[in-house]
Amino acid sequence: MRDIAVFLFLVFCIGGAFYRPWFGVLALAVFSYLNPHAYAWGAVRSLPAFQILFLVVVVSTLMTKDRQALPKDWRIPIFFMLWFYFLLTTTQAYFPAAAWDKFWFVSKIFIPLVFTLLLINTREKLFYLIITIAGSIGIVAVKGGVFAVLTGFSHRVYGPPATQFYENNAFAIAVLIAIPMLLLWLRETKDHRIRLGIYAALPLMFASALSSWSRGAFLTMGVLGLLLIWHSKRKFLIVPLFIIGAFFAVDFLPDEWFGRMETLETYQEDASAMGRIRAWKDGWHHTLQHPFVGAGFEGWRWVTERDWHSAYVEMFAEHGFIAFGMWLSLIFGTLINLTRLPKKVTGIEGMEWVHNYCYMLRLSLIAYCVGTLFLGLSYWDILYHLIFIAVLVRQFALKELDEKHGNSNSSSLTHGVRPNRQNRRHFNSSVKT
């Protein structure tokens, strides 16, 4: 029965992608983050659902006129340069077979993301993409949160099978990244049923992250919690809720959980923590000797005896400092853009959405930055999804801002008002555009 349901859902997504290609982008997000076919029991479980959907999206994109050119944003060429640099370092990798396998794996992540830029060409479509990603992760997180509460947090919660965040530590970070995106949905919707559903889901998502038993997720949760309070419009309500939630969590969490978190203070005595620090040092020293190409994909097998356990170390150790600089510029450049963009539209009627989008996406990106200090997730698809979504937010915001300037200047001319020099400059630039 479950196989039939998943198969019918896949057929529905394929039909939707042919009908509206941008529906295919949403379907790809569902099969990437929720991965519904992994919950089937029969032949559907091994079906290459994502690949089938991607081919449908490619065909439907070629057949439709409802697409746009790649946005004129500096992050797009940097992204393609980074991808090309991965190809260069793969040719010099210590383990060619493993490196080429990883390169094609990363390419399969990158290629579908490009269609996000081509087919998500309105703010409404972008909103649906964001809530699709948040909802896909949120469904699994709520399920895990219910399980965590019913079992007294005594078992670890894992993500969807066969995904990049199946492992409990990675899943906890994915959940924390999705929470601000879910809050964006809360801010943008007026449907009371959806709002009540989100209010009910958020505590369970935090419970799911707690039950991962991940020390990195615990630190990330602390940072995210403080930033959520900072950005909250009703701090007098949010702060008591966090206090009450923490009070109940303390009663439910087992002693073993607290024992694991206490190792954050005594990391020198923890073999796992010291092994990670040793791997980071080995990666750093090796990159100083090979600063341009690093060790290549999967280079930890040669340089040190364990995985990198840090996205930052993973990037510079496997690809050198040039790739690391490009990768870091994409992340921190996006954070800066998400901070500056709201200032450009402050006080302009009808553009309050820019503040909501930018602040919540910035929180999601900060959650990634903090959480991956201790996890090797440099090639995670949700990171590049966030960056591309930020690119589209900027494009739609500036376009809407230009239209408002143009309408304002046109209205002044219609009523016989001579625009000043600054307004004439805006009017002329809008005409040329």
pLDDT digit string (tens) for 117-129? 999 999 999 999 9
- Taking residues 362-387, what's their average pLDDT? 94
Q: Is the pLDDT reported for residue 363 higher than 70? A: yes
Q: Which burial class, exposed, middle or buried, applies to 386 when counting CB atoms under 10 A from its CB (0-12, 13-18, 19+)?
A: buried
Q: Residue 290 has which token pair?
A: 């090979």
Question: Bigger pLDDT: 217 or 433?
Answer: 217
Helix (H, G, I), strand (E, B) or coil at 333: helix
Cβ 208 vs Cβ 141: under 8 Å: yes
Q: Is the pLDDT reported for residue 18 higher than 90? A: yes
Q: Is the pLDDT reported for residue 419 higher than 90? A: no
Mean of per-residue pLDDT scores for the chain:
86
Give the separation between CA 107 and CA 118, rounded to whole angstroms.
17
Question: Bigger pLDDT: 358 or 255?
Answer: 358
Cβ 172 vs Cβ 231: under 8 Å: no
- What digits encode the pLDDT tens for the residues 94-143? 999 999 999 999 999 999 999 999 999 999 999 999 999 999 999 999 99
* pLDDT for the residue numbered 255: 67
Helix (H, G, I), strand (E, B) or coil at 26: helix
* pLDDT for the residue numbered 427: 37
**Residue 168 to residues 6, 117, 177, 216, 367: CA-CA distances in angstroms?**
24, 31, 14, 11, 16
For 38, what's the count of Cα atoms within 13 Å in the CB-facing half-sphere?
Answer: 15
* pLDDT for the residue numbered 274: 80
